Amino acid sequence: MTASRAQHLPEAVLRPVRGHHAFEACVEQLGTAIRLGVYPLGSTLPPERELALRLHVSRATLREAMAALREAGLVQTRRGRGGGTVVTLKPRTPSGRAAARVPQAKRADWLDALEYRRVVEPGAAALAAQLELTAVRRERLEQAHAEVAGADKAASHRQADSRFHLTIAALSESPRLIEAVTSVQGTLHEMLLAIPVLEPNIAHSDRQHATVVRAILAGSPDRARRAMEHHCDDTAALLRGLLG
């Protein structure tokens, strides 16, 4: 039995060990956090030493990443006590840029992200609904939802939407699920910047958000999961359509 084993598993299981260059990974992660609105325009990033600690990276490397972000115009830095690094990136409006021009590999990755999302985000919603939420956490959820519904411009709506989904993931209290949702939202954000989104879809999306929030607050994991599945399905169908 041992030697006759089929060879399909190793191929599927082994994956690149990491994105090389710690500094690129920092740029990626901080840049995504900023673009998603985890750190909104005008907010201050944690001090370098703290960030370096959090990211398990030396301060030297973190500073290189910061320099790159500064170079790219995402942040500005002031020295001295009370100084720090503040976000200067204004949320980008999804441009009508053609969805063509996307390399095949990236397109495949995007489609995979949509499949993955349909698994992890409903899972996070169900888990959140299953927990007994404190008043503070219920408040956070409602606040995040209100910000999505209340956003006037397309750009700030996009960030509020990301924050909404990340907030639900955070409510699940599962580090693995939070990471999964964060990464998938990063990819989603990238897709949405390349694809114009129409107004009616936003309204539709907001109604679905409301359903998810109700289910979570009511403590109904199944309803929360199904509602989030519908939401992911609809978004995915739209994006898949526009991608060809």
Partner DNA sequence: AGCCTAAGGTCTGAGTTCATACCAATTTAA
Partner DNA sequence: TTAAATTGGTATGAACTCAGACCTTAGGCT
Residues that bind a second copy (CB under 8 A): 1-3, 5-6, 8-10, 12-20, 22, 25-26, 29, 33, 38-43, 46, 51, 54-57, 109, 112-113, 115-116, 118-120, 123-124, 126-127, 140, 143, 147, 163, 166-167, 169-170, 172, 174-180, 182, 184
The tokens of 230 are what? 């519908």
Query: Hey, what amino acid is at 195?
Result: I
CB of 15 to DNA, least distance (A): 14
- Does 77 help bind DNA (rule: CB under 7 A)? yes
Residue 31 tokens read as 């840049």
| Host H or E run for residue 78 | strand 75-78
Q: How far is the CB of 197 from a second copy (least distance, A)?
A: 22
Among 15, 79, 101, 176, indicate the residue that binds DNA (CB under 7 A): 79
CB of 50 to DNA, least distance (A): 7
**Separation CA 143–CA 25 (nearest Å):** 31
Q: Which two tokens stand for residue 18?
A: 């990491």
For residue 64, what are the contacts with CB-CB under 8 A and spacing of at least 6? 23, 26
| Site map (CB under 7 A) of DNA, residues 21-60, x = contact | xxxx--------------------x-xxx------xxxxx
Tokens 């990033």 label which residue? 45
- Cα 195 from Cα 208, distance rounded (Å): 21
Interface with DNA by CB under 7 A: which residues?
20-24, 45, 47-49, 56-61, 63-64, 66, 77-85
